[in-house]
């Protein structure tokens, strides 16, 4: 790794060592050699380089960038889509339900109407999946995002429970948005005119001191978005302390709701799965059993376009939702539920399947890490997440560089998630976050894409430092 950096930097290093580049400026030579003597045989911390050194470095990086550009790449690492090999793992699901097998264990015909919140076998399995009781679960269609959107709509039109006013009747509704976060959550709020308040995230979850203060003071704050496990995009897993505080915190709004999007609950990449405290139990213990709406799906377990989506919460919340959903549908796709239960059978079946998925995904995540380390390690210009699961890697560049990096990468043939996407209103206040989604492209493409991203980050940082 160090060697590659040295080779890439060879023209720069030799120019400086021979004094050619610095001309008469012995101070520059001395300074650089001093850095080298300190054991730096790769590029040093960029922030310690002189303007002259930075300019030479920029020339070298521009040459590398042009070489990439001339390759005519056409790569896309924008969205967390499963790759065909992952989807192939579930192919047998398509044969589980067929012209001879479409009855449930109870003898119900899955081809017909009915079963508003799921067939018993699916409810049993996916209640375990989301760590709730079957009566605390509703299985919907194929998209959890759809269920989240509908939960908002019901809250706006009818209120979150019969004794609460519809949010839509209030002058203003606000939602807390831990960020970097999931762009589609933020789009729902923007679409529904819900004002978003950004809250900082760290490796343990949202900044709870800020959350507690905001919700205790402002009645118009009706809820918070959470992706509590292998969060999109940072990979953070909420700590027990964060889960307990979310469950217990006093809120000015009596109808405050946590939208707990547990999209990546079984999506481990490490040998040792990380654990997440059970939010519904925590809410019950804190005396707020109705506070949380939990969501999940098998979009990234089975087929992204034909998974099972589910919503969970207290029996009271789910009864209320069921009554409303009854106006919307006569029942979900039970054949797909049967397919899932016949294929996975139980939680061990799901865990085994996810291990096979991890075997495909892990090398892709590893290559993102190794390319980032090669390109940026020790240079003090970027930091990035090292997720133990989920679908994303989150990079923080120097302030004011992310949009430029994304623009440059696209110009050279690599599409990244648009700048600002991980923040409400697509506005990253410090213009520094970039989301990488490495699941879909083949390994070699990810390596090329990340090498280019590394060059673009260095270029944007060097420019920033030169113009400081
Ligand atoms: N939630 C999160 C956090 C996600 O990252 C995604 C997919 N990118 C979804 C929900 C979408 O889930 P579904 O396919 O079930 O609508």
Atom in ligand 1 nearest the alpha carbon of residue 147: 16
Confidence of residue 79 (pLDDT cuts 50, 70, 90): confident
Angle 410-413-419 from CA coordinates, rounded to 5°? 20
Query: What integer pLDDT is reported at residue 13 of this predicted model?
Result: 35
Does the C-beta of 232 come closer than 6 Å to ligand 1?
A: yes
Q: Is the pLDDT of residue 20 over 70?
A: no
Q: Looking at ligand 1, which residue's alpha carbon is closest to its atom 5?
A: 232
Q: Does ligand 1 come within 6 angstroms of the Cβ of 297?
A: yes
Nearest CA to ligand 1 atom 8: 80
Nearest CA owner, ligand 1 atom 6:
263
Residue 155 has pLDDT above 50, yes or no: yes
Question: How many separate helices (H) and strands (E) can be counted in the chain?
Answer: 17, 13
CA angle 185, 188, 189 (to 5 degrees): 95
Give me the torsion for CA of 38, 42, 48, 50, rounded to 10°.
110
Residue, of 67 and 16, whose pLDDT is higher: 67
Residue 298 CA: which ligand 1 atom is closest? 15
Residue nearest ligand 1's atom 2 by CA: 263
- The pLDDT, as a whole number, for residue 44 is 87
Average pLDDT, the chain: 92
Ligand 1 centroid to 145 CA: how many Å?
6
Distance from residue 31's CA to the centre of ligand 1 (Å): 50
How do the residues of the chain divide into helix, strand and coil, expressed in percent and rounded to 5?
45, 15, 40
Ligand 1 lined by 143 (C-beta under 6 Å): yes
Ligand 1 mean position, distance from CA 456 (Å):
29
Q: How far apart are CA 172 and CA 403, in angstroms?
A: 32
Continuous H helices in 326-346: 334-344
Kindly state the average pLDDT of the residues 75-103: 96
CA distance 293 to 144: 12
* CB of 298 closer than 6 angstroms to any ligand 1 atom: no
Across the range 20-45, mean pLDDT stands at 46
Asked if 238 contacts 204 with a C-beta cutoff of 8 angstroms, the reply is: yes
- Is the CB of residue 303 below 6 angstroms from any atom belonging to ligand 1? no
Residue 65: pLDDT band (50, 70, 90) is very high
Q: Indicate if ligand 1 lies below 6 Å from the C-beta of 308.
A: no
Question: What pLDDT does residue 112 have?
Answer: 97
Centre of ligand 1 from the C-alpha of residue 68, in Å? 33
Q: Which atom of ligand 1 approaches the CA of 144 most closely?
A: 15
Question: From the CB of 433, is ligand 1 less than 6 Å away?
Answer: no
Q: Is the pLDDT of residue 400 over 50?
A: yes
294 sits in which H/E element: strand 292-297
Kindly give the distance from the C-alpha atom of residue 464 to the centroid of ligand 1, in angstroms, as a whole number.
35
Specify the residue with its C-alpha closest to ligand 1, atom 1. Answer: 263
Stretch among 41-55, 168-182, 416-430 having the lowest mean pLDDT: 41-55
Residues paired with residue 196 on neighbouring β-strands, in sequence order: 175
For 373-440, the DSSP string reads: HHHHTTSSSEEE---SBSS-EEEEESTT-HHHHHHHHHHTTEE-SPTTTTSGGG--TTS-EEEE--SS
CA of 297 to the centre of ligand 1 (A): 8
Question: Which of 231, 296, 297, 394, when mutated, tests ligand 1's pocket best, judged by the most ligand atoms within 8 Å of its CB?
Answer: 297
- Verify whether ligand 1 is closer than 6 Å to residue 261 (CB atom): yes
Percent of the chain with pLDDT over 70: 91
The string of pLDDT tens digits covering residues 401-450 is 999 999 999 999 999 999 999 999 999 999 999 999 999 999 999 999 99
Q: ∠ CA 67-72-77 to the nearest 5 degrees?
A: 100
Q: Would you place residue 37 in the very low, low, confident or very high pLDDT band (cuts 50, 70, 90)?
A: very low
Atom 7 of ligand 1 has which residue's CA nearest to it?
80
- When pLDDT is cut at 50, 70 and 90, the band that residue 284 belongs to is very high
CB-ligand 1 contact for 309 (6 Å cutoff): yes
User: Is the pTM for the entire model greater than 0.85?
Assistant: yes
Cα of 309 vs centre of ligand 1, distance in Å, is: 10
pLDDT tens, residue by residue, 373-398: 999 999 999 999 999 999 999 999 99
pLDDT above 80 for 161? yes
Q: Which atom of ligand 1 is nearest to the CA of 297?
A: 15
Q: Which atom of ligand 1 is nearest to the CA of 304?
A: 14
182 Cβ below 6 A of ligand 1: yes
């Amino acid at each position: 790794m160090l060697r590659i950096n040295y080779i890439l930097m060879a023209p720069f290093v030799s120019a400086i060592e021979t004094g050619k580049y610095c001309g008469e400026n012995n101070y520059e030579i001395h300074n650089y050699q001093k850095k080298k003597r300190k054991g730096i045989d790769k590029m040093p911390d960029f922030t310690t380089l002189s303007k002259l050194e930075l300019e030479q470095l920029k020339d070298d990086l521009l040459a590398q960038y042009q070489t990439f550009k001339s390759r005519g790449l056409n790569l896309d690492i924008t969205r967390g889509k499963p790759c065909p090999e992952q989807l192939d793992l579930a192919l047998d699901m398509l044969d589980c339900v067929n012209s001879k097998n479409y009855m449930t264990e109870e003898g119900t015909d899955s081809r017909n109407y009915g079963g508003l919140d799921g067939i018993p076998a699916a409810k049993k399995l996916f209640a375990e999946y989301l760590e709730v009781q079957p009566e605390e679960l509703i299985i919907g269609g194929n998209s959890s995002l759809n269920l989240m959107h509908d939960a908002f709509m019901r809250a706006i039109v009818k209120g979150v429970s019969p004794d609460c006013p519809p949010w839509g009747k209030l002058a203003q509704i606000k939602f807390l948005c831990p960020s970097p976060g999931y762009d589609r959550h933020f789009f729902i709020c923007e679409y529904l005119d819900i004002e978003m308040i950004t809250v900082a995230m760290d490796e343990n979850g949202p900044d709870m001191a800020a959350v507690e203060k905001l919700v205790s003071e402002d009645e118009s704050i009706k809820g918070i978005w959470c992706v509590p496990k292998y969060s999109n995009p940072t990979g953070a897993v909420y700590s027990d302390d964060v889960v307990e505080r979310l469950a217990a915190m006093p809120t000015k709004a009596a109808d405050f709701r946590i939208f707990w999007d547990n999209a990546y609950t079984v999506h481990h990449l490490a040998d040792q799965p990380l654990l997440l405290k059970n939010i519904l139990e925590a809410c019950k213990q804190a005396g707020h059993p109705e506070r949380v709406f939990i969501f999940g799906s098998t979009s990234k377990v089975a087929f992204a376009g034909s998974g099972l989506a589910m919503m969970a919460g207290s029996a009271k919340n789910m009864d209320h939702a069921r009554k409303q959903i009854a106006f919307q549908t006569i029942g979900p796709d039970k054949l797909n539920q049967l397919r899932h239960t016949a294929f996975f059978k139980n939680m061990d079946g799901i865990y085994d399947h996810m291990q096979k998925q991890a075997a495909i995904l892990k090398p892709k995540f590893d290559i993102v890490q190794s390319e980032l380390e090669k390109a940026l390690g020790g240079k003090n210009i970027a930091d990035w997440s090292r997720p133990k699961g989920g679908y994303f890697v989150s990079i923080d560049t120097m302030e004011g560089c992310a949009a430029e990096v994304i623009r440059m990468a696209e110009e050279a043939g690599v599409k990244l998630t648009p700048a600002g996407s991980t923040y409400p209103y697509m506005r990253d206040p410090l213009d520094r976050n970039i989301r990488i989604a490495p699941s879909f492209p083949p390994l070699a493409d990810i390596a090329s894409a990340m090498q280019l991203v590394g060059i673009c980050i260095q270029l944007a940082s060097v420019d920033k430092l030169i113009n400081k």
